[in-house]
Amino acid sequence: MFALFFSLMLVPTDCCFQFFRNRVNRDLISSYYRTDHRCVLRGVVLITRRGRNICVDEKEQWVQNICALAQTEENLLSL
């Protein structure tokens, strides 16, 4: 029982298995998070204002731009 519980703790629970290929309008995004480093595909999950989760490739420049802009907005709000 302990071994099963311990092994479940090592498995990431939120991974992307394929990426959405089209650009997503920044105005549709409410937040984002990066997938667990243990996932086979490292990605970013964009969360839309309607609550939809979209997996995208973190290597894409437009994804990096959205993440940087969201981080800047978050920093300004915390001042």
- CATH number of the CATH domain containing 70: 2.40.50.40
**Structural domain contains residue 3:** no
Domain tally, the chain: 1
pLDDT of 8-44, one tens digit each?
556 667 899 999 999 999 999 999 999 998 899 999 9
CA distance 15 to 10: 13
pTM over 0.85: no
**Structural domain contains residue 70:** yes
In terms of Cβ atoms closer than 10 Å to its own Cβ (0-12, 13-18, 19+), residue 29 is middle
**Structural domain contains residue 34:** yes
pLDDT of 20-30, one tens digit each?
999 999 999 99
Say whether pLDDT at 1 is over 50.
no
**Structural domain contains residue 46:** yes
Cβ contact 25:62 at 8 Å: no
pLDDT of 44-71, one tens digit each?
999 999 999 999 999 999 999 999 988 8
What is the pLDDT of the chain when averaged over all its residues?
Answer: 84
- Note down the domain range covering 45: 14-77
Type of residue numbered 78 = S
